[in-house]
Amino acid sequence: MHKLIWALPLLQLQLLAAGGASAASAEYSPLDPNLLDESAIFEQFLNPDLASSGWVPSLARKIDGSPYNGKWAIREAHKYPGFSGDNGLVMDSEADFFGISKKLPEPFIRAGRDLVLQFEVKFQGGVTCGGAYLKLVSGLEPASFSDSSRYEIMFGPDICGSENRVHFLMKRAENDDTDSKLRTPPMAKTDALSALYTLIIRANNEMEIRINGGVAKAGHLHHTPHLMVPPVSVPEFVPDMSAQKPADWDDRPVILDNSVEKPANYDEKHNTMWIADPDVRKPENWNDDETAPLYIADPAATRPEEWDDEEDGVWNAPLIPNPNCAHGCGKWEAPKIANPGYKGEWMPPATANPNYMGEWVRPQVRNPLYGNTSAGFRPIDGIGIDVWSMQAGVMFNNIYLGHSVAEAERIGNETFVPKFELEYANYKKTKPRAKHEPRAPPKTFDDMLENSPSFVSMLKSPFLAEIRTAKTLWRSFQADPVTMMTQHPFRFAGYCFVFVIAFTLTFGFANVLLFLYLSSREDAKEHDRKLKEALEKEKTSETEKVSELTEEEMIAQITGKATGASARDTTMRKIR
């Protein structure tokens, strides 16, 4: 059975039919453990507190000396709860190492049967960095349980930053402490709802990991390549490291064909990297005399009269360029260019080796270690949790360890499925609302036509039908314009006429609006011009009046004593 098909119980159907019923109103009903096999272990955390549950917090220290200071409690879920009264084992502190374990009443022995481990995890406070995996421990001493205690299997989610995985580690054999783990583990659930993790190791060593009932990883522990690293078991046959490759073993798939001879002019054409430029010609006036110097003594130079050989040394005429070498002297060589036909050193062509014997491989011999290691696990006598968590509120529940896949599926159907439905209903009811609710998009022209009143609909029906016909013909016109025009010539001509009339009216109306707008701007400019002229005229008039005043009147206006009469009249009134 590669995929678990969940069957919802009657309680779940009743809750869904009730619609808005609260998830907390459903009381938890424990599963009867007597319905399970006698060898099965099923932990529902029915005890009222941690002290009476049998789970013992670790008093030991980790290998690096860190203590297990994480607090534990048994209580109901507080974030999106499912059943009322459904308790679980909860991490009750933040940013701590957590260690706790429980001794099984009887050792759990695989004994060639299926092994099934299943449990629920709920990250009530979210998860940024923390583990929630179980360890199946052999030789458990609860008070001294730590990361140094031997476990046979470790399974469960582990999330930290960008790393998200469901751990599965197991011991390779009873007498081997080496861990073998999944090379590519599946990803874990990180939301605040319960998640169900199931590990199945069948008697034939086929393995399955299920998450919420769906198969997330499967394979054979011994035969599936690259499933576990290192491999769970040693191979039966191994290469014989003492074997030596025979001296006459020919493992060359191709060889050089020495029967092919080297071309006579190959080196000149193809083995010379640089060649003379064939496009450059020797200058016509080139002097081929290789003994001709580039510089000669100036024949026109004479020894100065004041030159004194004793004081100035031997006089030599100055050197000038040799006129016979104006265009070059000596042996002429064309400049070098890269050889376009260069191929490198000649080698005979390759041909298939008729004596090819294939790649030599060491022969296989029986592995002397095969069968000497005891397969399987040691007896499991405890279940432990040894993790780090940044968040509080991580909850474990309904831990099952047994030999029956059917029992695990039944437990999931009767406990996890209805609980998950209740939690999801609670989440939908109480989840934080978005700050801005989504808004419906604005109505289109077609929406307005479709949603109009019945009276308007009666009036618009011919118009609407015509619009739909026009749309259909437009699509036909886009696909094949010639066919559309020949099949509907009158309708096409009518649409063209309507388009021209509509375009003309629209263009004319736009021109009228533009004319009115420009006219209003011209009127405003004319008004501003006239106002400016009036102001300038008034200013000119005032200037002329000021120029006509006498000196005494101007002084009187400035001093505030102007009366409108001349100073002479005012003086005469004072004398009288």
- Pair 125, 365: CB distance under 8 Å: no
The torsion angles phi and psi of 185, rounded to 5 degrees, stand at -75, 155
Q: Which of 70, 73, 61 is nearest to 144 (CA)?
A: 61
What is the spatial distance between Cα 350 and Cα 260, in angstroms, rounded to a whole number?
A: 10
Walk me through the domains of the chain, giving residue ranges and CATH numbers.
Answer: 40-230+376-430 (2.60.120.200), 445-547 (no CATH)
Q: What is the pLDDT of residue 374?
A: 52
Q: What is the pLDDT of residue 216?
A: 97
Q: Which of 164, 103, 118, 106 is nearest to 398 (CA)?
A: 118
What's this model's pTM, rounded to 2 decimal places? 0.57
Q: What is the pLDDT of residue 557?
A: 60
Within 10 A of 377 (CB to CB), how many other CB atoms are there? Answer: 21
DSSP β-ladder status, 394-402 and 115-123: antiparallel
The torsion angles phi and psi of 497, rounded to 5 degrees, stand at -60, -45
The alpha carbon of residue 305 and the mean position of all alpha carbons in its chain are separated, in whole angstroms, by 94
State whether residue 170 is helix, strand or coil: strand
H/E stretch holding 545: helix 489-548
Question: What is the amino acid identity at position 287?
Answer: N
Per-residue pLDDT tens, the chain, 576 aa: give them: 344 434 443 344 344 444 444 444 589 999 999 999 999 999 999 999 999 999 999 999 999 999 999 999 999 999 999 999 999 999 999 999 999 999 999 999 988 899 999 999 999 999 999 999 999 999 999 999 999 999 999 999 999 999 999 999 999 877 778 899 999 999 999 999 999 999 999 999 999 999 999 999 999 998 898 999 998 877 788 899 999 999 999 999 999 998 899 998 888 888 888 988 888 888 888 888 888 888 888 888 888 888 888 888 888 889 989 888 888 888 888 899 998 889 989 899 999 999 999 999 999 998 887 765 555 689 999 999 999 999 999 999 999 999 999 999 999 999 999 999 999 999 999 888 877 878 888 877 667 666 656 555 555 667 667 777 778 878 888 888 888 788 878 888 888 888 889 889 898 888 888 888 887 777 777 777 888 888 888 777 766 665 665 666 666 666 654 444 444 444 333 333
Task: Retrieve residue 428's tokens.
Answer: 């939908």
Q: Which of 256, 325, 238 is nearest to 290 (CA)?
A: 325
- Pair 211, 120: CB distance under 8 Å: no
Question: What is the amino acid identity at position 322?
Answer: N
Q: DSSP state, 25? A: G
What is the spatial distance between Cα 227 and Cα 170, in angstroms, rounded to a whole number?
A: 13
Task: Retrieve residue 282's tokens.
Answer: 């020797």
Contacts of residue 395, defined as CB under 8 A and 6 or more positions apart, other chains included, come to 77, 88, 89, 90, 91, 120, 121, 122, 124, 194
The torsion angles phi and psi of 195, rounded to 5 degrees, stand at -130, 140
What is the spatial distance between Cα 81 and Cα 37, in angstroms, rounded to a whole number?
A: 30
CA distances 432 to 124, 125, 353, Å, are 15, 14, 75
What crossing angle do the helices spanning 454-479 and 489-548 adopt, rounded to 10°? 100
Q: In this structure, what is the dihedral angle of CA atoms 452, 458, 463, 467, given to the nearest 10 degrees?
A: 60
CA distances 78 to 31, 492, 531, Å, are 22, 71, 81
DSSP line for 105-150: EEEE--TTS-EEEEEEEEETT--SEEE--EEEESS--GGG--TTS-
